[in-house]
Amino acid sequence: MTNEPREVAGSLDATGLRVAIVAGRFNDAVVDRLVAGALDTLTRHGADPADVTIVRVPGAWELPIVLDSLAAGGTVDALIALGCVVRGATPHFDYVAGEAASGCAAVARQRGVPVAFGVLTTDTWEQAVERAGGKLGNKGAEAAVTAIEMARVLKAL
């Protein structure tokens, strides 16, 4: 008998997974495309739309508190954070983008529920559009794939 390492990997099968998408309304023209990309990806991978909850919040700053509440509720296998923060000419960007990122990471670590980070943080509006179904793909769809894989990894551990 050979000794083989135990290898754990997550499939991309979303059948039966309960997923919540939390999306900021700020820059909603872009964020709505991220939501559509995430939803399309989840259902293409087998998720039942009835098992997907979409929660809208004012902006990226508000994402972590709602993610935390959903994770604490114990009714979701994975969370997807979607938003769009455009730098413009204000240092506000750094606070909003920074807190969104660290808050999402904290929820995942503290609650043990994966949080896929699909928050665009760009210098310009054009860069955001390119990443929301434009020539550089759809960050919402990418986040959905990550959410599925991480939900499966955690279930397989």
Q: Cβ of residue 87: shortest distance to ligand INI, in angstroms?
A: 8
Given the DSSP bridges, would you call strands 78-86 and 19-24 parallel, antiparallel or unpaired?
A: parallel
Active-site position among 46, 73, 88, 92: 92
End-to-end CA distance of the chain: 24
Q: How many CB atoms lie within 10 A of CB 131?
A: 22
* Run of H or E residues at 147: helix 139-156
Q: Annotate each residue in 19-38 with x if it binds ligand INI (CB under 6 A) or - if it does not, as one string.
A: -----x-xx-----------
* Run of H or E residues at 110: helix 92-111
From the list 22, 61, 144, 150, which residue makes contact with ligand INI (rule: CB under 6 A)?
A: 61
Q: Is 86 in the site for ligand INI (CB under 6 A)?
A: yes
Q: Which residues are catalytic?
A: 92
Which residues bind to ligand INI, rule: CB under 6 A?
24, 26-27, 58-62, 83-86, 92-93, 96
